[in-house]
Amino acid sequence: MKKIVLVFVTALLITNCGTSSKSNTSSVHTNEARIVDPTIYASTITEEELKEMLYKYASDEFEGRETGEKGQKMAVEYLKNQYQILEIPSPLGDDDYFQEVPLEKQSVSEAKISVNGTSFKSFEDHIVLRASSNTEINTQDIVFVGYGIDAENYSDYKGIDVKDKIVLAKAGEPKDTNGNYITTGSSEDTKWTNGRQSLSSKRDAAIENGAKGLILLDANMFVRYAPYYQRQAESGVSGRLSLKSNEAEMMMLMVNDNLAKALHPSILEDEKPKELKTNLSLAIENKSEEITSENVVAFIKGSTKPDEILVISAHLDHEGVKNGEVYNGADDDGSGTVAILEIAEAFKEAEKAGHGPKRSILFLHVTGEEKGLLGSRHYTDNDPIFPLENTVADLNIDMIGRTDPKRKEGDRNYVYLIGSDKLSTDLHNISEEVNKKYCNIELDYKFNDDNDPNRFYYRSDHYNFAKNNIPVIFYFNGTHDDYHQPSDTPDKIEYDLLENRARLVFYTAWEIANRENKPIVDKATE
Ligand SMILES: [Zn+2]
């Protein structure tokens, strides 16, 4: 009770973002002959409309919007329908608002292996780390490649042809007489020595040298991995979703000493690469299942710089239904989703009045965020609808409808900003200036620190743009007790705050889309 009263009282103190008389103050668009006042359009972003949409979008009917499932399909239909009502087209043309995102659900595959007529057992002697298609191999062409290292100053692949062959390698890396690793000259573990990382490093080396498959002896990791793989296989639970790649994946097995010695009896002592003459017969049944999901895209074409694109993004998916409970994801990320719909409406109203944005705006609702930022990665890595080099910024919204109970200082009218200054000082300044001019929300940079242990900068969809040196701002209210719980429901959203934050994103987008120059990238990374 006390809490409710407190919320009510403080709510009265909040000024609406940008509907005051502040529009008379000096404008950011000083170079322009005619200054268009965005506050009239911002005022179309209202808590009533946000609330109405969110009660629908985060209702039980949408079943928690799990990627690839029925509820997620309902979510994308809902979004498409909203854009049709708003008469905002898709950049893909006609009624096609969906960018297909091909995914696969990976399950543990099992291999049947025999060496010189002796058969070996799944989980006791070998596990399949990667297999993308059904594989049947009968070969005598196996190449032992020592430690399987291909580094600048040391390579196990030098002078040996492994093209389309199976390579056999062992864990670890060689040391010099002083006990230092040869690859680095230091005793510190390297990417070739270090657990999980050594697996991907050695796999990459085999792929780069054209091998058809890699069999890795790593007895230490095998005893840890094998029981886990066996439990996964026996439980029948299908595993993680991942983006389906267009290229066939290279097969990779991990084996124990027993099987490795059958392939190459002196493997533990030998380091020198050589061709083996061993009869290997190998069959793998791939149990991955293909799943299709969708990003939803809508587009307002720029009036004078149509080839420059501003992306406004939020993820459309959530956690689905678990143990009979719907994970509604009202804050995560229903709040960002409906905010974008309202922002899109505001830009459309401006366009109708002859004040469409100068740059183009892509409203991007991505799928598979909760499964590992899959939809945004598909967009940036596989199928950017607009060239990334013409993409001027990404404003990403993920959770802006609640308050962080751990925040002790400042008022409730705040938002955490992450990433705004990481690539572009210019973007950061624009964001600050716009907020001062129209909103006066407390912009809290607590989680923007590079050393912040939460690493939020890497944990939502903007990151896939940032890694391509596209400046980003991530808008976020922080986590709370209902984060990733079935209790993240629309009745707990603070709609006045959601309205204010959505307006802030709108004003920032307005400035980026209409200003003379796009934000300068002054801190690009490699
Ligand atoms: Zn989220």
d(CA 157, ligand 1 centre) in Å:
43
Give me ligand 1 centre to Cα 369, in Å. 7
Distance 398 CA to ligand 1 centre (A): 5
Measured on CA atoms in the order 409, 415, 419, 421, is the torsion positive or negative? negative
Residue 160 has pLDDT above 90, yes or no: yes
Measure 475 CA to ligand 1 centroid, in angstroms.
11
Span from the CA of 372 to the centroid of ligand 1 (angstroms): 10
Edge-to-edge strand order for the sheet containing 166-170?
Answer: 118-120, 110-115, 274-285, 135-144, 166-170, 213-217, 251-255, 126-130
For ligand 1, the distance from its centroid to the CA atom of residue 373, given in whole angstroms, is 9
Q: Residue 499 has what pLDDT?
A: 98
pLDDT at position 23 over 70: no
Q: How confident is the model at residue 18 (pLDDT cuts 50, 70, 90)?
A: confident
Q: Could you tell me the CA-to-CA distances from 267 to 144, 170, 193, 195 in Å, in that order?
A: 8, 8, 17, 20
DSSP E strands in 346-483: the ranges are: 359-366, 391-397, 414-418, 442-444, 472-476
Task: State pLDDT tens for residues 387-396.
Answer: 999 999 999 9
> Ligand 1 centroid vs 117 CA: distance in angstroms?
52
Query: 408 alpha carbon to ligand 1 midpoint, in Å?
Result: 23
Residue 19: its pLDDT value, please? 62
For residues 94-109, average pLDDT: 91
Instruction: Give the rounded percent of residues in the chain with a pLDDT score beyond 70.
Output: 93
The C-alpha atoms of residue 469 and residue 440 are separated, in whole angstroms, by: 28
Pairing outcome for strands 442-444 and 414-418: parallel
Confidence of residue 493 (pLDDT cuts 50, 70, 90): very high
Average pLDDT across the chain, whole number: 92
Q: How many CB atoms lie within 10 A of CB 70?
A: 13
Model confidence pLDDT, tens digit, residues 395-450: 999 999 999 999 988 889 999 999 999 999 999 999 999 999 999 999 999 999 98
- Give the containing element (helix H, strand E) for 251: strand 251-255
Distance of CA 190 to the CA centre of its chain: 27
CA of 116 to the centre of ligand 1 (A): 52
- Quote the ligand 1 centre to 95 CA distance (angstroms): 27
pLDDT band at 13; cut points 50, 70, 90? low
Q: Where are the alpha helices (DSSP H) in 236-382?
A: 257-263, 336-352, 374-377
Range of lowest pLDDT (8-17, 42-51, 141-150, 344-353) = 8-17
Residues by chain with Cβ below 5 Å of ion ligand 1: 332-333, 398
| CA 124 – ligand 1 centroid, Å | 40
Output the pLDDT for position 238.
65
Distance from the alpha carbon of residue 317 to the mean position of ligand 1, in angstroms: 8
- Inter-residue contact 505 to 428 (CB < 8 Å): no
446 CA distance to ligand 1 centroid (A)?
18
Does 103 score more than 60 pLDDT? yes
- Region 371-380 average pLDDT: 96
Q: How far apart are CA 346 and CA 352, in angstroms?
A: 10
Distance 66 CA to ligand 1 centre (A): 12
Total-model pTM: 0.79
CA distance 397 to 413: 16
CA 493 – ligand 1 centroid, Å: 15
The pLDDT of residue 81 is above 70: yes
What separation in Å is there between the alpha carbon of 112 and the centre of ligand 1? 41
Q: How confident is the model at residue 242 (pLDDT cuts 50, 70, 90)?
A: confident
| pLDDT over 50 (residue 22) | no
Residue 354 predicted with pLDDT over 90: yes
Residue 104 Cα to ligand 1 midpoint, Å, equals: 21
**Residue 287, CA distances (Å) to 177, 226, 255, 522 in order:** 46, 18, 20, 47
Amino acid (one-letter) located at 152: E
Q: Find the 253 Cα to ligand 1 centroid distance in Å.
A: 34
Least confident of 78-92, 276-290, 354-368: 276-290
pLDDT at 21 over 70: no
Expressed in angstroms and rounded, the spacing between residue 5 Cα and the centre of ligand 1 is 29
Which has the higher per-residue pLDDT, 14 or 278? Answer: 278
Interval between CA 126 and ligand 1 midpoint (Å): 37
Whether 5 shows a pLDDT value over 80: the answer reads no
Q: Residue 351's closest CA among 299, 296, 311, 387? A: 299
Q: How far is the CA of 32 from the centre of ligand 1 (A)?
A: 38
Residue 227 clears pLDDT 90, i.e. is over it: yes
Average pLDDT (73-77) is 98
Q: Ligand 1 centroid vs 222 CA: distance in angstroms?
A: 35
**pLDDT over threshold 70, residue 221:** yes
How many A from CA of 416 to the centre of ligand 1?
A: 14
Distance 30 CA to ligand 1 centre (A): 37
The structural domains of the chain, ordered by start, are 48-105+290-514 (3.40.630.10), 110-287 (3.50.30.30)
Q: What is the mean pLDDT of residues 228-241?
A: 82
Say whether the peptide bond before residue 333 is cis (omega within 30 degrees of 0): yes
* Separation of CA 368 and ligand 1 centre (Å): 10
Question: How far from 71 is each of 329, 398, 405, 450, CA to CA, in Å?
Answer: 12, 19, 30, 36
Interval between CA 333 and ligand 1 midpoint (Å): 5
Q: Are strands 135-144 and 274-285 parallel, antiparallel or unpaired?
A: antiparallel
Instruction: Give percent above pLDDT 90 in the chain.
Output: 82
Q: How far does the centroid of ligand 1 lie from the alpha carbon of residue 399, in Å?
A: 6
Residue 235 has pLDDT above 50, yes or no: yes
The per-residue pLDDT for 133 is: 74
Q: Confidence band (pLDDT; 50, 70, 90) for 345?
A: very high
11 falls in which pLDDT band (50, 70, 90)? very low
